[in-house]
Structure 1
Amino acid sequence: MPIFLLLGVDYNAQNDGFEESRKYLINNIAHTMPHTPSKIDSIKAKKLTSGPLLARNSIWNLVGQIAPMAVGIVAIPRLIHALGTDRFGVLTIAWMVVGYFSFFDLGLGRAMTNLVAQKLAAEKDHELPAVIWTANLLMAVLGLLGGVVLAFLSPVLVHHLLKTPPALQRETTRAFYLLSLSVPFVISTAGFRGILEARQKFRIINSVRIPMGIATFAAPLVVLPWSKELTAVIGILVVARAVFWLTYIYLATRDMPQILRTVEIDRSLLPMLFSFGAWMTVSNIVSPVMEYLDRVLVGMLLSLTAVAYYATPYEVVTKLLILPGAIVAVLFPAFSTALVADHAHAGKLFRRTVKYVTLTLLPLTLLMVLFARNGLDIWLGPAFASHSTRVLQWLAIGVFANGIAALPFALIQGAGRADLTGKLHLLELPFYVATVWVLTTNFGIEGTAIAWAVRVIVDAILLFWVAGRFADIFLRYRSIFAATAVIGTAFALAMIRMSLPIKLLVAVLMLISLSAVTWFMLAADERALLQGLRGRLLPPRIQAKATRA
């Protein structure tokens, strides 16, 4: 089975569309380098973008996301039982508020990571202290501002926006005041973590992220034997945030000690940081709006019961995006480095990651579409399955496209063009609102799922086109159309109602076909790696039989 977009992606050094981006990078980063601008002979850059390093870091990120989720599954029922539903509801809102107030960094953390990675690629380490301290000072100021804003809004949130029971209003207000103290730590942490991200130190990052994620659920459990007050529960979370903030500062300065020797603020960096960061903020604001809009409109236009039928499969299928999310977090600084040091290598890196993510997500989403009704029937019962099967199928198709779209998104932002992704999101928003409204009104929650799938598919197409235009990746449109048609046919086949034995037969045939295509798509070194892995994993007797065969 041809791979969506993979067959249509090729590197083309003659693409004039990259010149605007590359000249921007050269003028701002590498104008004093003695080497040719298109390729910097940097051992450091090669190490920071090597395949084995990126693979290990992606695995670390995956573990860093899954481990806290596993703890949360165990801890949340105990928290609900101990705190009660009202207090636990306040705790969940506190978790959400801290996440949203992280937007107060105005994208400066991401901008700093991008710029530090580019400086490392250009071997201009002497300029790093100015970049790091300028960005972190701005983030510290914004963090303090965010904390003050949250403290000021706390009474309004508790007494007017949230339906807080009267008996809990005073306690909740005090808890939100405490919560506001964590905002500066949250925002400043992103800055020091960004230093480690630019240096591809994801093992170190996740050695902090994992206990920090676990503490989000476990720390409240620690104080429950002494107090069930929200001030105690949220207070321990604030203390934990402060401890992890200090830990990131220590690890970042230990990894890059020169930033302690030179503390420098460079005002000339402000336009570059704010330009990149501002467009990052646009994406950070618009993306959550589009993420939650479908469920809000289902509640407005249909019913809360319909929200349950829609949101449940949504929460399940979108968990597949953890995989591309873990990879993209590693690729963003890698692309930032590679596009300066050797953009031919950036193209190769992009093609390979598209291939790997595609070959991983495609069988998972196809099987989810094929067995949607059976899975929902076993898990939630026939009544729920009758309402949510089509929803799950359409959402799975969208998740496939959305997972692959994360890769050109990272490439474009790694090229310093966060403005392009921000503009795309602004362009998509009104069309998405109209599409969700019309399809939900006429076709119910299946229409909502179709609208979401169409939006992310269009988003993927636009992102690949923009990546080809501005990041030197040539798209062969005939191959794209052919691959899309074949994969679309496979998804359409998987959506046909059929008996379980027929589904099992179709699943086997699909997996065999995909395995054959996967082997064909792999390069010689990738095949050799798989054969070597098989040699280490299979018993000698089975290896001998395979060799004789």
Structure 2
Amino acid sequence: MSFTAKLRSVHISNATYGIADYVSLPALMLCSAPFLLHRLGVEQYAIWVLASAAVTSGILLSAGFGDAALKFIAAYRGSNDHVGVERIIRTLLGINLALGTTIAILVGLLIPFLVSHLPNVSAALRISYQRALAIGCILLVVKAVESVFICAQRAYERYDVAARFTIATRVATIGAAVAIAAFGRGTVTIMLSTLLIAIISASLQAFAVWRRLAMHSLLPSLNRASVRELFGFGAFSWIQGAVGLLTGQADRFLVGYLLGMHAIAYYSICVQAALPIHGIVAAGLQVLFPYLAARLGLLSASAMRQKFATAFAVNVVLVAALAAPVIFGSRYILRLWMGEDFSSHAYVALSITACGFALLGLNVTGFYMLMAMGRIKLLALVNVAGAAAMLAAIAILAPRFGIVGAAAGRLIYGPIICLIYIPLRKALHITQGVPTQASMQGAL
């Protein structure tokens, strides 16, 4: 096999593992939900979902510097600077441990308030929720640390290793939850098993990174130069992640406030059904980020344009393949999934929502290329503008057109994000020499 064919095979493998990583959790939840809901009961199941959501939100906030670390690890790896790689990994460990612990403490302090404001919940369930959240706070710290080792594997373009750990952990976690529910135990026991599995997974991943990268130490550090590097890029990455977390929930709260709880059920199902159009494309093409970050000073401008053209063509084909069935088959999909009555109310909204996520999915290639070039500030600002415009459009259209108006409000987000291709086009038309990261940033 030639080097080019081997490299292409590696990219396909990484993309496949990235997609498998993305779809594994919703697939496992979908398969296990009927059994868990039946065995745990609606209230215990809801407590588990709420506790898991709180942990997931905390992890996203505490591990927001992962994109910055991935970029710099890949860059140092590309220049064969092993000391720089180890310094970034240890510094990210220190940052994530500090942020994760801080957020866990804040959540822990809010537990009494959260529990006391649960409506129509018995004292026993309040205690279960309080204990589940307390375990979740510890889990949050473990997951924040674990994300460092996942990031390191991806920076070395070993998405297969990272995905195998992640998928195996999810299978073990959901499998344990099913077994625990089958034996008649509740949410607290499930959270304890989840914590134990997470600790084992993080330990194994730490050992894998330590051995594969031949690191001298994995003790957390806060190296001043590395902190400056990570914060210079990571602060905007964190803002972008926080905006994504906000817009992923704020639109639903806004629809509920404007149209009532009945409408939010239709709207949420439409968003849930259309979300994989963007999610699967992003998961498959995320390999662009470490690949380009490691080779930014080595590829010529013409080579960069060629990489962009290939990746964008794949991007368009994937979006079309995923979006077309949902856009044109929305009524049939909802009829099979949710029933005729639900379908008649929501199929137009689903088609429009799918168009919105298709437009958003078209930005994936440009997003990862600009990330590799270090233009995170530009991406963060565009995402903030897109999110603000989307929420404003929903606020204007939803009261007049109902859930169809709310879905139409999402359409504005994608085109605004796709404006990133304007500065990217300028950067890709540098014609002389081999572009360095500094020259690419200057062009932007």
Shorter-chain TM-score above 0.5: yes
Report deviation, 1:64.
2.5
- 1:386 is aligned with what amino acid? S
Does the aligned pair in 2 maintain the 1:64–1:210 contact within 8 Å?
yes
Does the aligned pair in 1 maintain the 2:93–2:220 contact within 8 Å?
no
Does the aligned pair in 2 maintain the 1:129–1:262 contact within 8 Å?
no
Equivalent residue runs for 1:135-146 within 5 Å: 135-146=92-103
Could you say what secondary structure the match of 2:217 adopts? helix
Equivalent residue runs for 1:100-179 within 5 Å: 100-105=57-62, 107-160=64-117, 164-179=121-136
Report deviation, 1:399.
1.9
d(CA) in 1 for partners of 2:336, 2:24:
26
Could you say what secondary structure the match of 2:411 adopts? helix
Could you say what secondary structure the match of 2:286 adopts? helix
Structure 1: runs of 5+ lacking an equivalent: 1-45, 475-549
Which position in structure 1 is the counterpart of 2:360? Answer: 402
Which whole-Å deviations, capped at 9, do the CAs of 1:239-280 have from their partners, x for residues lacking one? 111111101101111210134399975312212211211111
Which position in structure 1 is the counterpart of 2:434? Answer: none
From 193, 205, 220, the counterpart of 2:162: 205
Which position in structure 2 is the counterpart of 1:446? Answer: 404
Matched, 1:195 2:137: no
Which position in structure 2 is the counterpart of 1:347? Answer: 305
Structure 2: runs of 5+ lacking an equivalent: 432-444
d(CA) in 2 for partners of 1:261, 1:178:
25
Which position in structure 1 is the counterpart of 2:225? Answer: 268
Could you say what secondary structure the match of 1:451 adopts? helix
Report deviation, 1:161.
5.8
- 2:92 is aligned with what amino acid? A
Report deviation, 1:429.
3.2
- 2:288 is aligned with what amino acid? L
Which position in structure 2 is the counterpart of 1:433? Answer: 391
TM-score (norm. length: structure 1): 0.73
Could you say what secondary structure the match of 1:395 adopts? helix
From 239, 253, 261, the counterpart of 1:304: 261
| RMSD over equivalenced CA pairs, Å | 2.5
d(CA) in 2 for partners of 1:365, 1:403:
10
Matched, 1:218 2:152: no
Report deviation, 1:65.
2.9
d(CA) in 1 for partners of 2:49, 2:282:
23
Could you say what secondary structure the match of 1:219 adopts? helix
TM-score (norm. length: structure 2): 0.89
Larger RCO (CA under 8 A, 6+ residues apart): 1
Report deviation, 1:470.
4.9
Count of equivalent residues:
427
Report deviation, 1:188.
0.8
Could you say what secondary structure the match of 2:398 adopts? helix
Q: 1:259 to 1:457 in 2, by over 3 A?
A: farther
Which position in structure 2 is the counterpart of 1:328? Answer: 285
Equivalent residue runs for 1:405-484 within 5 Å: 405-460=363-418, 462-470=419-427
Report deviation, 1:181.
1.0
Equivalent residue runs for 1:375-394 within 5 Å: 375-394=333-352
Does the aligned pair in 2 maintain the 1:65–1:210 contact within 8 Å?
no
Larger radius of gyration: 1
Report deviation, 1:106.
5.5
Report deviation, 1:193.
1.2
Does the aligned pair in 2 maintain the 1:61–1:206 contact within 8 Å?
yes
Which position in structure 2 is the counterpart of 1:73? Answer: 30
d(CA) in 2 for partners of 1:153, 1:262:
30
Matched, 1:244 2:191: no
d(CA) in 2 for partners of 1:385, 1:262:
54
- 2:318 is aligned with what amino acid? T
- 2:361 is aligned with what amino acid? G
d(CA) in 1 for partners of 2:129, 2:89:
37
d(CA) in 2 for partners of 1:140, 1:213:
22
Q: 1:430 to 1:365 in 2, by over 3 A?
A: closer
Which position in structure 2 is the counterpart of 1:534? Answer: none
d(CA) in 2 for partners of 1:260, 1:213:
28
d(CA) in 2 for partners of 1:152, 1:388:
40
Q: 1:152 to 1:378 in 2, by over 3 A?
A: closer
Report deviation, 1:171.
2.4
Which whole-Å deviations, capped at 9, do the CAs of 1:307-334 have from their partners, x for residues lacking one? 2222222211222333212223322211
d(CA) in 1 for partners of 2:326, 2:263:
21
d(CA) in 2 for partners of 1:380, 1:229:
28
Equivalent residue runs for 1:43-82 within 5 Å: 50-82=7-39
Which position in structure 1 is the counterpart of 2:318? Answer: 360
Could you say what secondary structure the match of 1:260 adopts? coil
Which position in structure 2 is the counterpart of 1:319? Answer: 276
Could you say what secondary structure the match of 1:340 adopts? coil
